[in-house]
Chain A
């Protein structure tokens, strides 16, 4: 079945460091791919998305490119801030199903 494998955390970085959170997927169809973020005590929020191969989603300095050849959707940010501390979930969606990765907890220290 469809699945998402996400880099295990936790990840701890200093402010202004470069961030990469790896995400790979397995799907029978042509899924859309998403990154969601969950800040402490809050629900999930959509961070960015990509709907087809080679699409790049971007938001708030975060980027991820839909790589069909490597079935990946890695999340990157060039310079993280303390306010980026949260749990990040990679997800895929096919026509009527949605799957999430296990989540990666990011802590950014000043």
Chain B
């Protein structure tokens, strides 16, 4: 079946560092990728939706200058947490799928990235 690869799986870094997380669809073309954040024991929170070749759509309350999303190809989307601080520590998950007429297809999720900012 379709596989989404997310990398890295775990990052520990100092406050002020920028961290890039990659989400790759390995065997299908992902026209749409979603980025989620999950706080401990809570649900996924949608951060942004990225469509290949266009700017990402951010959810209310998500700082687009803080969380930079790039979806330059049909197989790769990146989330960059700029100048990360301890409050950015969280579990970030991407998912990939096709938009529009294929909305009855499930999203395929990466395994997530655990980000810890010291």
Contact = CB atoms under 8 A, between A and B. Distances in A.
A95 B95 CA distance: 15
Contacts of A52: 104
B70 to A, nearest CB: 18
Given A96-B32, A96-B103, A44 B109 contact: yes
A93 B99 CA distance: 10
Given A95-B99, A96-B32, A98-B46, A42 B111 contact: yes
B34 interface: yes
A82 interface: no
A89 interface: yes
A103 B36 CA distance: 14
A51 B106 CA distance: 10
Given A43-B112, A94-B103, A98-B95, A89 B44 contact: yes
A99 B99 contact: no
A88 to B, nearest CB: 11
Interface in B97-114: 97, 99-101, 103-112
Best-buried of B99, B104, B110, B111 by chain A (most CB within 10 Å): B104
Interface of B: 6, 32, 34, 36, 41-44, 46, 49, 51, 93, 95, 97, 99-101, 103-112
